[in-house]
Amino acid sequence: MEPTADKKDPNPIIGSSTEKTEERPVWNCELTKPSGESLPSVTVGEVFQLYCKGDFVERLQPPVTIYSWLPAEKEEAAPSKDSYALKSLEPITVSETDLKLEVTTYRVGQHTDVEFVIADSGGEKLKTSPLSWTVESVIKDPKQQPYGPMGPFEMRKPWWYYAAFVTATLIVLIVLFRFLKKRMDRKKMIDELTRHGTALTPFNQLNKELRKISRRVGFYSERDFDQEQGLTAVEEIERAHRMYLVRELFVMAEHSSVRQILRETKKYHPKIFFEREVDLRRLFAELDRAKKAKERITKRDCEQLIEMVRLVAHGVSQIKRRRSR
């Protein structure tokens, strides 16, 4: 059998040892500034131009790619792509004998006698003559950091991360402070009631105070009952009701809002809350309406408020007594 003649691979690996480098066109190339001046050095990311000219080749078809060339005897397969030393951005002029490209670089340092391959979408077309240039960092001081130290530590995360952390910490501290303050205020209130308690039950103490108010209101006739007396009577009735809740339920009712009073009642006395919530809300609403209508408050209105306070308190004390049995 006759030996088979070696056939040329129709699709050789670019730059492999099976392809002769002499067959690849080599164009003379230089790096210039956009103004055409010579290019001793550039900074990282700066845009400049690569201008090449040489023997006739088929016109390159965009996109044009530039990658570094490794001699065939030093590589195992294809040329090593390097998109950091020299990167093609946009072709300016392209013909069969010359080429001008917009390029940039991202690799800092001295580049000496570096050869590149220029290819288009169809594959390798030509090789550049050795190029030399210097790339300087935009950071002049090598020890300089993009974000310097801030305060006693160096910020390794974005500023909003620390801002969110500080805000969340403050919110937690505020909530914790308010919680502890309520606990301490409640404990202080209970201690005060224990120390200054009377022999009367909270409901009997309330009846005693309501009788005093009723006698003062009844002292005046309907004709002599004026605006100032009506407002004073309403304020005394409301204070007696609030103090009854303090003594009976141990809630902070003396200066708290209606919502806070009901919230504490629900927390510490859920049965009373679910059975008497409507009555308590209605009574507070009537007291508030009477204070706003102070010019139209009458003696009869004050007597009705006294009776409403007494009935609501009686209902609360009944539930409390059933629970204690």
Residue 208 has pLDDT above 70, yes or no: yes
pTM: 0.45
The CATH number for 21-136, chosen from 2.60.40, 3.20.14, 2.60.120, 2.30.29, is: 2.60.40
Average pLDDT (234-243) is 92
Tokens 């209101």, residue?
217
Residue 167 has pLDDT above 90, yes or no: yes
Query: pLDDT per residue over 28-66, tens digit each?
Result: 999 888 888 887 788 888 889 888 988 888 877 777 878
Closest CA to 58 of 123, 124, 127, 125: 125
More confident: 195 or 146: 195
- The per-residue pLDDT for 183 is 78
Q: Which of 17-21, 265-269, 272-276 shows the lowest per-residue confidence on average (mean pLDDT)?
A: 17-21
What is the distance between the alpha carbons of residues 289 and 217, in angstroms, rounded to a whole number?
Answer: 19
Task: Give the burial class of 248: count Cβ atoms within 10 A of its Cβ; 0-12 exposed, 13-18 middle, 19 or more buried.
Answer: buried
Residue 200 has pLDDT above 60, yes or no: yes
Radius of gyration, CA atoms only, the chain: 47
- The per-residue pLDDT for 306 is 92
Task: Say which residues have a Cβ less than 8 Å from residue 252's Cβ, sequence separation at least 6.
Answer: 182, 185, 186, 189, 246, 260, 261, 264
Question: Domain limits of the chain?
Answer: 21-136, 161-197, 198-324
